[in-house]
Structure 1
Amino acid sequence: MAQSQSRTRAAQWAKTPQTRPDRRDAFIWDTEVPQLAERRRGAARSWIVQTRAGGRSLRRKIGDVEEMPVEVARALAREALAEIAAEGGLGLSPAETIASFAPRFLEDCAGQWKPTTLASHRLCFTGQILPGLGEVCVAELTKAQVIQWRDGLTVAPGTRNRALAVLSSMMRHAELLGLRPSGANPCAGLRRHKSDFAADYLDPAGYAVLGRVLDRAAERYPLAVPFVRFVALTGCRKSEAMGATWDQLDLTRAGGRLALPDAKSGPKALWLGRPTRALLAGLPRHGRAIFAGEDPAALEAELRPLWRELRKALRRPRFRLHDLRHSAASVGINRGFSLQVIGGLLGHADLDSTAGYAHLDQGRMVAASERVGAHLSRAFARPRTGGAPPPRAARRKTLAAPGPEDYAAFAESGDGLHGFCAARKIDPRLFHAGLKDWQKSGRTTS
């Protein structure tokens, strides 16, 4: 019975290349109509069109490559995309231009942004995106066109970066609605132009100076001092802290949080550590806003002289309140927290924003250099003869490389791979890597 099963298994292994060819598809996407692709399945070649509609992916075959020139395939692909869009009830055409699609994009995504962000996106369209790309078909926008447009913008680097980010968001929404294939964002991977501004942040000595200044100024600036402490502890944006109200604060939850409905990237929860909760619990309630009360101008009036004192004490004349946000993020990253965690604490919509805060202080770099140098120094000093231990690889038991006869024997044995390799003293990793190639070759011996 066992011999019969072994013979059957060996026969199946030998026949596999003939009876079960590789059915995996390969796609070569068209550069003119991004939803059109040549699908290669074994020896077969066919034209397919793929898009999304109604939240699902749709794929249609439109003809064989040998019988249909690419120009005909493109024309039929556009017709198929128009039919899919109509069937999906999206009210969109494959010929949709960036100018005609922009209102739909802004309307669909308005709930994700605060009103000021929505207004800023509208200005990006009217000022930067539509003048250069408005007549370009959404489905046919290429990376080369995006690069040419971006490099031709005569605006500040920050404005250029915002325009590129808005265009990228628009392309992702176009994928969702089926105007572009998934993963075909022409803005993906483009480096944003760097501005000349260099963010500043506090080291431990700087935080000590900040603490002393705030302690001395507590009586003179009763509104501004707790406000600055809060920003320093949480990394909260100035506008978000200014607008924070008591009804948004929930100290009954584990950890406590502040619900911010009008943050820069949309509604978010600001989680509060124990020092922050203690700070808020000790504040008097003079109005609806936590720090500004009913008079935001009074808070601003205190902030200006307090900040001048802090800059003078730090000897940093350009240090900004927002740099406390950079500093809080850098402290978290240097304490070992991941970019995902830091981004969640700061309310970032993407990791690219968080990565910009990943400053490594010199102390960690020096410590790393010392450790690496000490390790290499010990390695260089090892004696070459005498009692030096052999390399770890040499202490391992030497395992043989497999040959074709081993694969044939394995097919007939019925044993598990690791047990078979252990019995023959064969490296199981090499055996596993070569087994598939032997199977495809259809040979039992060489």
Structure 2
Amino acid sequence: MPTARLTKRVVDGLQPDDKPYITYDVDLKGFGVRILPSGVKSWVVEYRPGVGRGVAKKRMTIGSVATLTADEARNAARDILASVRLGSDPLGERAKARDAATVSDLIDQFLSDHVEPKRKPKTAELYRHVLNAYVRPVVGKRKAVDVTKANIAKLHHDLRDRPYLANRTIAVVGSMYSWAGKRGLIPDNYNPANKVEKFKEDRRERFLSVEELERLGAAIREAESVGIEWTVDESKPTAKHASKPGNRRVVISPHVAAAFRLLLFTGARLREILHLRWEWVDMERGLLLLPDSKSGRKAIVLSAPAVQILSELPRVGDYVIAGDRADKPRSDLKRPWAAIQRRAGLDGVRLHDLRHTYASVGAGSGLGLPVIGKLLGHTQVSTTQRYAHLDNDPLKRATDTIGATIATALGDGTASGNVVGLKNAKR
């Protein structure tokens, strides 16, 4: 093996041969310059990872002679050899980095190995949408280990006009990285979504008033009896083919009407009603025994009106709310709800708001949040806490008592009911 003190003059004087060869530096063991038959010259360093001569040598290219001086290359080789003495394997780490999974790789594996088999369909749909629509286009080509908290914070910030979506995106990315760390696909505890400050979400809670419930009930009765008239956009070319005004009515089936009423009388989620099978209905005990729901196994306690609805509903197939096919559940209630919503003048009211209404009536009646939480199937107390401001009957009675006592002491003449004089009040 030829050796020399590798300076610019010496390296410039090295001539290509029929085969590649290396000239090693006499001062730094393992450091050398490789000359190819084409005349291209590159700085290299050789080392043995681990301990002992039984370990095979590795050769690592530092850079081209055209771009690095001899001193720059020697210093780089010295740093590499120092890291090897500390137990590192620079060439192996470079190969590992080159082969490391990209974010897109992580997304594909996360969805196929974890989300699809272990998450409920609606949750899996949300994960797929967030990862494919917002995460993959922005950081999909990056190595998963190269994504920083700043990258994820920017992604979150760019979705600031949709705070709910922005926060869900952070949660999904965090879940993906946590899963990848447990699987050994990335270093454990490496998660760029950690501690990204989330946007404040204004919960959209709509509760129907008594007057709105009356309008809703009238609209449902009209829809299932004579039908609700639909309007035609006369400006469209197809308008001339529409039915005459007197014949423009849509009648909903008794099953669709029952679905709306059951949503109100049970506080159940939409899918819990649409996917409800007759075999899960226990009329004798007044229960819906759901084997699976958003919160797992769940029993819904039926009120007397709900039991009556179910007892009068025709049985068509396996599902309580019959759809087009007896062996499949109805997919949604969008079109009939839009007609009823419009007829009742409930603009902006969602089907999920019927669940909120059920809870609000219970909270306003002083039933207590723990009871309401059990009726709704909440597993977290914090979920039911959103209705706390409606549970005001005890506070109202308390403030009325205090106010009446003070008013009596003041001789205001406005107090009524049981009043405790201040002198006789317990201190």
Query: What is the TM-score when the length of structure 2 is the normalising length?
Result: 0.51
Q: Distance in 1 between matches of 2:191 and 2:343?
A: 51
Match of 2:127 in 1: 121
Aligned mates of 2:362, 2:144 — CA distance in 1: 40
Instruction: Describe the superposition over 1:59-91 as per-residue Cα deviations: whole angstroms up to 9, x where unpaired.
Output: xxxxxxxxxxxxx9xx98999xx9xxxxxxxxx
| Aligned partners of 2:167 and 2:198 also within 8 Å | no
Q: Given the alignment of the two structures, is residue 324 of structure 1 paired with residue 354 of structure 2, yes or no?
A: yes
How far residue 362 of structure 1 moved from its aligned partner, in angstroms, is 9.3
- CA RMSD of the aligned region, Å? 5.2
Structure 1 position 216, deviation (Å):
6.5
Aligned match of 2:208 in 202, 216, 241?
Answer: 202
Alignment partner of 1:242 is 2:249: no
Q: Give the match for residue 316 of structure 2.
A: 286
Summarize the Cα distance change of 1:370–1:204 in structure 2 as closer, same or farther, 3 Å threshold: farther
Structure 1's 329 and 364: CA in aligned 2 closer, same or farther, altered over 3 A?
same
Percent of counterpart pairs with the same letter? 22
The letter of the residue matching 1:127 is A
Cα distance change, pair 217–370 in 1 and its aligned pair in 2 (3 A): farther
Counterpart code for 1:308: R
* Aligned pair partner of 2:137 in 131, 134, 151: 131
Larger radius of gyration between Structure 1 and Structure 2: 2
Q: Which residue of 2 aligns with 1:191?
A: 198
Alignment check: 8 A CA contact 2:177 2:190 kept = no
User: Residue 103 of structure 1: which of 105, 108, 112 is its match?
Assistant: 108
1:262-313 residue CA offsets vs partner (Å, 9 max, x unmatched): x6x48653523233334223211123331234365997765454333333xx
CA distance in 2, matches of 1:132, 1:301: 36
Measured after TM superposition, the shift of residue 327 of structure 1 is 1.7
Distance 1:255 1:201, change over 3 A: same
Distance 1:140 1:213, change over 3 A: same
Q: What amino acid is aligned across from residue 258 of structure 2 in structure 1?
A: P
SS in structure 2 at match of 1:367: helix
Provide the rounded CA distance (Å) in 1 between the counterparts of 2:190 and 2:405. Answer: 44
Task: Give the counterpart of 2:287 among 247, 256, 267.
Answer: 256
1:337 to 1:356, Cα distance in 2 relative to 1, 3 A: closer
| Maintained 8 Å contact 2:274/2:321 | yes
The aligned amino acid for 1:243 is H
- Where does 1:21-60 land on structure 2 (aligned, <5 Å)? none
Please tell me the residue identity of whatever aligns with 2:270: K
Q: Which residue number corresponds to residue 179 of structure 2?
A: 173
The answer to which of 369-378 and 104-113 deviates more is 369-378
Which residue of 1 is the match for residue 158 of structure 2? 152
Between the aligned partners of 1:123 and 1:252, the Cα distance in structure 2 is 39
> 1:363 Cα deviation (Å)?
6.0
Distance in 2 between residues matched to 1:274 and 1:128, nearest whole Å? 44
1:228 shift after superposition: 1.0
Aligned length: 291
d(CA) in 2 for partners of 1:369, 1:142: 53
Tell me which amino acid in the other structure corresponds to 1:269: K
Cα distance in 2 between the residues matched to 1:336 and 1:77: 62
Asked if the contact 2:167/2:199 (under 8 Å) is kept, the reply is yes
Q: Helix, strand or coil: the match of 1:223? A: helix
Partner SS, residue 360 of structure 1: helix
Distance in 2, matches of 1:182 and 1:198, equals 35
Unaligned runs of 5+ in 2: 1-82, 227-251, 411-421
Q: Taking structure 1 as reference, are residues 304 and 142 closer, same or farther at Cα in structure 2, changes over 3 Å only?
A: closer
Deviations 1:204-241 (A, max 9, x none): 55445545655676644533332111011223333443
How far apart, CA to CA, are the structure 2 residues paired with 1:230 and 1:277? 9
| 300 and 186 in structure 1: CA distance in 2 versus 1, 3 angstrom threshold | closer
| Equivalent position SS for 2:357 | helix
Q: Is the 8 A contact 2:103 2:141 kept in 1?
A: yes
